């Protein structure tokens, strides 16, 4: 069974080779690694020209297109029975891939989600906790659960209780989905995503539809964040390779896309999530499945606390949308609601408990510290125990103890 690993990229040539190399270290001939270059103007072409592994296929869009179109373009070029996306500053944990394949072949689900690890690129002047990996007991060596995302998550999604959904949610980005399910879910032939943020689009469309999914509390991929990551770069005003503002370019590309969202994101995550939900509901015709708009409006209005100019712009965007949709009462109610705390008391207690049952190590190896060394360190600590856990030959606690013991060979971080 072929599995497609897809890496969409644009102008991150200093990060991309390390992301690709995490996949190249997978000992499996029945994979393809599709790198889809969204018309980069840096030295991405040179990086890709140096790859000789026959499992890698490099394609170029030939013109600048939106992120949605780039994801769709990459997916159309892939051929695997299952598809897995990750970003060009992210990575996959190569030694754990065989367990992912084992679970997919055993259960043949519509898709699978997991608890991804997190890594901050150690770039000067960027971030506080970078260059390391934290391992959590609650998200390591966990056995698989089967779930239907509609039954499990739809109510929380409608109520804008997003913390109650993650990480047990379907995703094509840092998640794996069968091609058959993607084709059944597709809004039109050859169109797999129909709003600006493709992974959120897939998650919400699947939650409205339902399916047979698996979730494993175990890291198969590592989510990297860096100064060029989409959210930080757009919000921070980073310039791209052509000297333009990355955020403004992203907005312009979305507006040029024929499948534009219900309203502008204002380059904020809350509005992107809200706009995606409204767009998906409208395009799927789920008029009876209305979310609690007062809560969603409140969530959107909370996007830029302490920034009066941004707050005014967000207010104007949402007010206009409320007028267009006849939901001004919900919008007015949202403005009277107190801001939702970042974390509830229960969430804070759980966060503290998870921190206690965790450890952090430096992700450096042989004088380097990249997503590749992070993946190698992650494999070194996780070892081979997950196979024994999922086959019932070892307890999760014993596997965690073995990983903690191996972690003593690495430099610990606070």
pLDDT of residue 79: 98
pLDDT tens for each residue of 156-187: 999 999 999 989 999 999 999 999 999 999 99
Neighbours of 18 (CB within 10 A): 21
C-alpha triplet 98, 99, 101: angle, nearest 5°:
65
**What span, in angstroms and rounded, lies between the C-alpha atoms of 28 and 2?**
10
Work out the burial of residue 378: count CB atoms within 10 Å of its CB; fewer than 13 is exposed, 13-18 middle, 19 or more buried. Answer: buried
Nearest of 14, 3, 194 to residue 85 by alpha carbon: 3
**Beta-strand (E) ranges in 137-194?**
144-147, 175-178
Asked if residues 90 and 224 have their Cβ atoms less than 8 Å apart, the reply is yes
Going residue by residue through the chain, which has 414 residues, state the pLDDT in tens, using 9 for 90 and above. Answer: 999 999 999 999 999 999 999 999 999 999 999 999 999 999 999 999 999 999 999 999 999 999 999 999 999 999 999 999 999 999 999 999 999 999 999 999 999 999 999 999 999 888 888 999 999 999 999 989 999 999 999 999 999 999 999 899 999 999 999 999 999 999 999 999 999 999 999 999 999 999 999 999 999 999 999 998 766 545 544 455 444 567 778 888 888 889 999 999 888 999 999 999 999 999 998 766 789 999 999 999 999 888 999 999 999 999 999 999 999 999 999 999 987 777 666 667 667 777 788 999 999 999 999 999 999 999 999 999 999 999 999 999 999 999 999 999 999 987
- CA–CA separation, 362 and 237 (whole Å): 29
pTM higher than 0.85 for the full model?
yes
Q: Sketch the domain layout of the chain as residue ranges.
A: 1-260+344-414, 264-340
Q: Given the DSSP bridges, would you call strands 358-362 and 132-136 parallel, antiparallel or unpaired?
A: antiparallel
Structure tokens at 196: 């600006």
Give the per-residue pLDDT at 182: 98
Cα angle 66-68-69, degrees, rounded to a multiple of 5: 65
Please, what is the Cα angle at 205 between 201 and 207, to 5 degrees?
A: 120
Q: Which residues pair with 175 in a beta bridge?
A: 113
The answer to whether residues 198 and 261 touch, using CB atoms and an 8 Å cutoff, is no
C-alpha 242 chain-centroid distance: 26
1-260+344-414 architecture in CATH? Alpha-Beta Complex (3.90)
Strands 175-178 and 82-85 come out as antiparallel
Residues 391-399: contacts with CB under 8 Å, at least 24 apart: 396/141, 396/142, 396/143, 399/140, 399/141
- pLDDT, tens digit (0-9, with 9 covering 90-100), for 101-130: 999 999 999 999 999 999 999 998 888 889
Q: What is the DSSP string of 246-303?
A: HHHHHHHHHHHSSS--SS--TT-HHHHHHHHHHHHHHHHT-TT----HHHHHHHHHTS
Q: What was the pLDDT predicted at 345?
A: 67
> Are 393 and 363 in contact, with CB atoms under 8 Å apart?
no
SS3 assignment, position 214 = strand
Position 250 scores a pLDDT of 83
């Amino acid at each position: 069974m072929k599995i497609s690993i897809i890496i969409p990229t644009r102008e991150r040539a200093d990060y991309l080779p390390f992301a690709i190399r995490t996949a190249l270290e997978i000992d499996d001939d029945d994979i393809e690694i599709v790198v889809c270059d969204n018309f980069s103007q840096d030295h991405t072409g040179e990086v890709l020209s140096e790859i000789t592994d026959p499992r890698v296929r490099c394609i170029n869009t030939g013109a600048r297109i939106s992120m949605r179109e780039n994801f769709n373009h990459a997916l159309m070029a892939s051929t695997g029975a299952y598809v897995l996306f990750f970003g060009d500053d992210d990575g996959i944990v190569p030694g754990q891939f065989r367990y992912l394949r084992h679970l997919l072949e055993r259960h043949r689900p519509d898709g699978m989600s997991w608890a991804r690890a997190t890594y901050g690129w150690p770039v000067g002047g960027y971030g506080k906790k970078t260059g390391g990996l934290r391992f959590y007991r609650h998200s390591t060596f966990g056995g698989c659960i089967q779930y239907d995302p509609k039954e499990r998550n739809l109510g929380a999604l409608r109520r804008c209780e997003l913390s109650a959904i993650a990480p047990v949610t379907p995703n094509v980005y840092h998640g794996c989905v069968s091609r058959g399910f993607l084709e059944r879910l597709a809004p039109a032939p050859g169109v797999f995503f129909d709003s600006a943020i493709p992974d959120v689009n897939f998650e919400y469309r699947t939650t409205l539809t339902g399916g047979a999914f698996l979730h494993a509390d175990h890291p198969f991929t590592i989510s990297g964040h860096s100064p060029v990551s989409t959210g930080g770069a757009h919000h921070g005003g980073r310039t791209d390779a052509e000297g333009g503002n990355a955020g403004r370019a992203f907005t312009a590309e979305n507006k040029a896309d024929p499948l534009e969202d219900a309203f502008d994101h204002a380059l904020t995550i809350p509005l992107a999530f809200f706009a995606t939900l409204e767009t998906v509901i409208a395009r799927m015709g789920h008029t009876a499945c209305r979310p609690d708009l007062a809560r969603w409006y409140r969530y959107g209005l909370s996007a830029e606390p302490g920034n009066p100019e941004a707050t005014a712009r967000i207010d104007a965007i949402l007010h206009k949308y409320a007028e267009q949709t006849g939901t001004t009462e919900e919008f007015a109610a949202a403005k009277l609601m107190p801001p939702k705390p970042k974390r509830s008391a229960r969430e804070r207690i759980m966060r503290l408990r998870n921190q206690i049952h965790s450890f952090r190590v430096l992700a450096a190896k042989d004088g380097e510290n990249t997503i590749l060394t992070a993946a190698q360190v992650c494999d070194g600590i996780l070892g081979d125990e997950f196979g024994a856990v999922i086959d019932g030959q070892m307890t999760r606690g014993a596997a965690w103890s073995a990983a903690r013991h191996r972690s003593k060979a690495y430099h610990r971080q606070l």
